[in-house]
Amino acid sequence: WQSAYWSAQAALTALDHLATSGDAHAFALCRPPGHHAGRDYMGGYCYLNNAAIAARAAQARGLGPVAILDIDYHHGNGTQDIFYADPDVYFASIHADPCTDYPFYWGHADERGEGAGEGANLNLPLPRGTDGNSYRPALDTALAAIAGWGASFLIVSFGADTHSSDPISSFALEREDYSELADAIAALGVPTLVLMEGGYAVGDLGLNVAAFLSGF
């Protein structure tokens, strides 16, 4: 609990920095991650949903409209669940096809939101073996949707478990891909809070995170 609590506090501290400093980007090195946690359940090493907590805090500070872009290998089912019927937070996720990978029961392309939130949820599942060249069109689609929705504040759930060396994942992104992806995200031109989610290739993790941040 102590670790999960302070992981969420790291996200809120980074949000506070963005809100008060005038900087365009901030990074919170959250551990444990959060995007598989819902309102009343945990999962996938996640206990508190850092992205959802930060999104609500950003709304309370008048920083919206808020969008969340999840680029972890696994679908952010907890984040989707929390905002699925909410028209005020846009959620876009690029992830491994749930037909083959955790969390299995969420993250299919036909999940578009419900009720007032219908249309504010975008899932872009990709097959195992996806490399940087195949990943980029999905990112462009997600960024175009976020821009078209009118987001003025972005939260990025960043997972480095998309790297080719990750022991529990099956994408094939390389280190140089991360700076290019971040450069495309930064080109949206809105304040962006990056939160750490997954990443389990311990020897490569720090360098991959640094490569991603360099793109901002």
Annotated catalytic sites, by residue? 36
Rounded CA gap, 48 and 34, in Å? 5
Q: Which two tokens stand for residue 149?
A: 């929705």
Q: Which two tokens stand for residue 103?
A: 């969390």
62's CB contacts (< 8 A; 6+ apart) are: none
Strand ranges for 48-179 from DSSP E: 66-70, 89-96, 121-126, 153-158
Beta bridge partners of 131: 172
Rounded CA gap, 164 and 169, in Å? 8
Rounded CA gap, 85 and 71, in Å? 21
